[in-house]
Homo-oligomer: A and B are copies of this chain.
């Protein structure tokens, strides 16, 4: 939005917000009408289109009793089916990729650099490969040994940076200890940073009025899960557990752009359970199995569990199973909606990566 347009909107907001007949939902609809979503694959609009002027009127101080969340009277949480939602999104991506191929003879291409032999990294990369190929995105990979030099990684990165056929580049983390992740990541071409980890992307995610080229995949996926489940974010008290650069930090920034009131819990937080109990929406990405007990939840809260913690289980084929941060058994009796692990946030992360890669290709070819 141009500056003059923002000011016009702000002026109109100011007039509207003084009218008692104008409810918050009306204001929201007004805002939505100004949004021009660039595609129909995702519900989430552009961030700049969400930006609204902070109009501090005397009326906002009074408790908004009329909009106190109506908690579900059932004691069993609705399951937010991340797999089903991710499948729907992937179908949309596949259609769009096919349209691009038929129109301009090009497809998006995703490149991954994998260093070392970590089993979990290999699994994640394999999922990205399968996901890409399923939707028609070309997938290429460079593997390097665990003891490779920084020069070799940077060289592989530079080749992908300069290759016009490559639209997205992933540096699969973590890197072996002798390599400087931050330094190498900052060499990644901004236009291909589909993970959205570059400081410029994070800065543009944080700043009002700015639009990041890419939003980090897991937070982006969480927002999409909430929106597609009909869960309102604006004005809600959202607590994020964890502040990692990959999830917690961008998650909190993204929620704030959606006008949630955000609190971030980390390992130095006192009484995290008490703070967590205030949340209308709780998003946990701590990486600690069973961290969040039933007592951490407000009745009727929405719970988004980003945790993917491998826990030993001899009964499972691989000898372990995945658990979230949340004690599902307790939480599902208290929350009104919850994402399962697996099958919740996980499938959405890859879907958002594929979406980001598609967006990158569309920008590169100016394809609309």
Residues of B within 8 A of A261 (CB): 263-266, 268-270, 275
Residues of B within 8 A of A243 (CB): 54, 208, 256
Q: Judging by beta carbons under 8 Å apart, are B56 and A253 in contact?
A: no
Q: What per-residue 1/0 map shows which CB atoms of A206-221 lie under 8 Å from chain B?
A: 1111100000000000
Highest count of chain B CB atoms <10 Å: which of A56, A235, A259: A56
Stretch of A83-91, A194-202, A334-342 contacting B (4+ beta carbons < 8 Å): A194-202
Q: Which residue of B lies closest to A7 (CB)?
A: B177
Identical chains bound together, number: 2
Stretch of A58-66, A135-143, A152-160, A358-366 contacting B (4+ beta carbons < 8 Å): A58-66
Highest count of chain B CB atoms <10 Å: which of A199, A200, A242, A273: A199
A262 within 8 Å of B (CB atoms): yes
Stretch of A107-115, A178-186, A316-324 contacting B (4+ beta carbons < 8 Å): A178-186
Highest count of chain B CB atoms <10 Å: which of A55, A201, A202: A202
Residues of B within 8 A of A263 (CB): 261-263
Q: Judging by beta carbons under 8 Å apart, are B180 and A3 in contact?
A: yes
Classify the interface of chain A: helix, strand, loop or mixed: loop
| Contact with A242, one of B54, B60, B237 (Cβ below 8 angstroms) | B54
Residues of B within 8 A of A200 (CB): 199-200, 203
Q: Which residue of B lies closest to A293 (CB)?
A: B61
Q: How large is the interface on A (under 10, 10 to 19, 20 to 34, 35 or more residues)?
A: 35 or more
Q: Judging by beta carbons under 8 Å apart, are B235 and A270 in contact?
A: yes
Stretch of A34-42, A92-100, A284-292 contacting B (4+ beta carbons < 8 Å): A284-292
CA distance A237 to B365 in the complex (A): 48
Residues of B within 8 A of A55 (CB): 267
Residues of B within 8 A of A45 (CB): none
Given A3-B180, A203-B206, A206-B202, CB of A61 within 8 Å of CB of B272:
yes
Residues of B within 8 A of A229 (CB): none
Q: Which residue of B lies closest to A60 (CB)?
A: B267
- Chain A residues engaging chain B, CB cutoff 8 angstroms: 2-4, 7, 52-56, 60-61, 63-64, 67, 177-182, 198-204, 206-210, 234-235, 237, 242-245, 249, 253, 256, 259, 261-275, 286-288, 291
Which 6 pairs from chain A and chain B are nearest by CB? A199-B203, A203-B203, A202-B203, A54-B267, A263-B263, A259-B268
Give 10 CB contacts A-B under 8 Å: A4-B177, A54-B242, A54-B243, A64-B271, A200-B203, A203-B203, A207-B245, A208-B243, A261-B263, A261-B265
